[in-house]
Each structure stands twice: as structure tokens, then as C-alpha cells.
């Protein structure tokens, strides 16, 4: 049986979630919501909308979340929120605005430094100092689902994995209900990390973040900034296909599908896919793994039910 194939009984209880980012212009808005429509066929447990480095997309994030919930009828839309570039009072006001627009799930993050990835992070004056403090603030506002970040290969600013896990425990103690990981490509790294998380007494779901590789050069650069690595075996499978887009697409589809199937066979049931606001590769991966698509009528019915 090919590694990318799951029996129906194996894949029947797997759950997906998708991450999107707010569009910068009209063309990107069209692409985003076409992607949302395409991937809604896979009946995601929830979707998330990012907030932007340094809170730079705050207004666009709110606009996109509002449209997702009220126009696209995707009630299970989670809003990212960071500590960066705002006082506590300003962050609290943003939380209230999201809540007023129907948000019941937040992704609470410290956020990248205002100077960009690699710059030194410093808490904003009179702002929340880290994600644990932000989780506590959101929890004080109500009984919401609160996802947080986790790093199987260590956050680039952490001295070691133990410091990462200590911060994750602080976030959980303050009310986090789920961890979504940074993308990774070596499932052994994730499994070792998850074992250490459980030994630390952390029992919330830790959902692996999956990044289908649309562009190898971009992913290698981004992975370097995030403290992740792209294994040589994956580079070897893709690097010679730059001039063969169809073959590159097929190989990238198999790489991501194989990763999901292997994780499923290790007992994982939830998968968070970074879509980059593009549906073709993500949809191909989901199809190859064997995730069922809702019939068009069922998709419409689901949207109508969310709107009711």
C-alpha cells in the first residue's frame, strides 16, 4: 500500500483546519475568498486568519474575519491576535471588537518583533509582555477557545526546548485550549517534542502544522528565519524540478500527503494546514490523503446552517 494511502477507517476521524492571511488588495481578496470556497469542501473543524507581523494588518484582519463570519458564513473562524505594537487597553479593545463580530476562537501569539523576524523583541510600553499574558487577558473576557503556538524545533529566540515547553505550560495554565505548531518536515522531531510536552504535564491537543511546498526556495528561506529545517531528502526530491511545474506540483503533493499519513499512523488526528491563500496544492494534498469532499449541496447547506 503506498505511504500516501489511508484506509477509510483510518482517515474517517481525521480533522483539518486551515490558516489564511488577510489580503492586501482587491486581487488578493478575490484569491483569498476563492481559496476559502474551494477548501470549505473539506469541512474544516475551524479556519484561522492571521494578524500580521507587528500587528500591521490589524484593520485588514478584522475586515477579513468579519467577512468570513458574516458573508461567507464560516462561523468557526479563529482570529489571530498578538501583543506587538499595542497597549493592554488597545489589545483589550481589539478583543472586544472581534467578539462583537462573532469571534469565539482566538489564536493568541506574542508576535514577531516590530523590526521583523530576527530583530530583538521588547514588550510594547504598557502592553502584554508575552503570549501567556495575552491568553490570560482573552480568558478573562469569556469562555473562548484559545489556540497558541508550539515549536517542535524550538523557537529561534528560545535558549532551549525546555524554555519553549515552560512557556507553553504557562500559556496552558492561563487558559489555552490547543497548540498549533510551527511547520516542520521531520515527523520524528514532532514526536520527540510531543513526548517532552506530555512529560511536562501538558495535555491539551498539540496540532501539527503542515506546510505544502509551493516554492522550495521561499520555504527554505522562511524555515531558516523560523528555526525550522527542510531535510535534505525533501530538497533532493524537489530541487531538480524548477523547470517542470507539473512534476514539481505532483512531488510536493506527495511530500505533504506522506507527512500527514505518517503522522496519522503515529496516532495524530488533527492537522493544521498553512494554505498561503492558495487552494490547488492544499486541495491536491487533501484529496491524495483521502479526505472526503462535501457535495456542493452539502457545502451550501452547511453555510446556510452557520448563518442561521
End-to-end Cα spacing for the chain: 44
HSE of 256, CA atoms in CB hemisphere, 13 A? 28
**C-alpha to C-alpha distance for 202 and 256, rounded to whole angstroms:** 27
Q: What is the CA radius of gyration of the chain?
A: 19
3-state secondary structure of 144: coil
Catalytic residue among 10, 19, 72, 153: 19
Beta 270-274 vs 15-20: how paired, if at all?
Answer: parallel
Three-class secondary structure of residue 178 per DSSP: strand
Place of cell 523590526: 115
Query: How many of the other CB atoms lie within 10 Å of CB of 89?
Result: 10
- Residues with Cβ within 8 Å of 200's Cβ and at least 6 positions away in sequence, in order, are 165, 166, 168, 169
Enumerate residues 6+ apart whose C-beta is below 8 A from 67. 33
Quick one: residue 262, left, alpha or beta (phi over 0 = left, psi -120 to 50 = alpha)?
A: alpha
258 part of the active site: no
User: What are the φ/ψ torsions at residue 164 (nearest 5 degrees)?
Assistant: -60, -50
212 φψ region: left (φ > 0), alpha (ψ -120 to 50), beta (else): beta
Residues with Cβ within 8 Å of 279's Cβ and at least 6 positions away in sequence, in order, are: 34, 35, 38, 39
3-state secondary structure of 219: helix
Catalytic residues: 19
Amino acid at each position: 500500500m503506498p505511504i500516501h494511502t489511508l484506509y477509510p477507517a483510518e482517515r474517517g476521524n481525521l480533522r483539518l483546519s486551515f490558516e489564511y492571511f488577510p489580503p492586501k488588495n482587491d486581487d488578493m481578496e478575490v484569491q483569498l475568498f476563492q481559496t476559502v470556497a474551494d477548501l470549505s469542501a473539506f469541512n474544516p473543524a475551524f479556519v484561522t486568519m492571521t494578524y500580521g507581523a507587528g500587528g500591521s494588518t490589524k484593520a485588514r484582519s478584522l475586515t477579513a474575519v468579519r467577512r468570513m463570519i458574516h458573508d461567507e458564513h464560516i462561523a468557526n473562524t479563529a482570529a489571530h491576535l498578538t501583543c506587538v505594537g499595542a497597549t493592554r487597553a488597545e489589545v483589550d479593545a481589539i478583543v472586544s471588537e472581534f467578539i462583537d463580530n462573532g469571534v469565539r476562537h482566538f489564536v493568541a501569539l506574542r508576535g514577531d518583533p516590530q523590526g521583523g523576524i530576527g530583530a530583538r523583541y521588547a514588550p510594547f510600553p504598557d502592553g502584554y509582555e508575552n503570549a501567556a499574558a495575552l491568553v490570560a487577558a482573552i480568558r478573562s473576557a469569556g469562555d473562548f477557545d484559545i489556540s497558541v503556538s508550539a515549536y517542535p524545533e524550538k523557537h529561534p529566540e528560545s535558549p532551549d526546548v525546555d524554555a519553549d515547553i515552560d512557556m507553553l505550560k504557562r500559556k496552558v495554565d492561563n487558559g489555552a485550549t490547543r497548540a498549533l505548531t510551527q511547520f516542520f518536515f521531520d515527523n520524528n522531531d514532532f514526536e520527540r517534542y510531543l513526548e517532552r510536552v506530555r512529560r511536562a504535564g501538558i495535555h491539551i491537543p498539540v496540532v501539527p502544522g503542515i506546510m505544502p511546498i509551493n516554492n522550495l526556495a521561499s520555504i527554505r528561506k522562511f524555515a531558516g528565519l523560523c528555526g525550522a529545517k527542510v531535510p535534505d531528502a525533501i530538497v533532493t526530491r524537489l530541487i531538480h524540478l524548477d523547470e517542470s511545474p507539473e512534476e514539481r506540483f505532483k512531488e510536493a503533493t506527495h511530500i505533504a500527503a506522506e507527512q500527514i499519513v505518517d503522522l496519522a499512523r503515529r496516532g495524530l488526528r488533527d492537522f493544521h494546514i498553512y494554505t498561503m491563500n492558495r487552494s490547488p496544492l492544499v486541495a491536491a494534498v487533501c484529496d491524495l490523503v483521502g479526505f472526503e469532499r462535501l457535495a456542493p449541496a452539502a457545502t451550501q447547506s452547511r453555510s446556510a446552517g452557520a448563518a442561521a
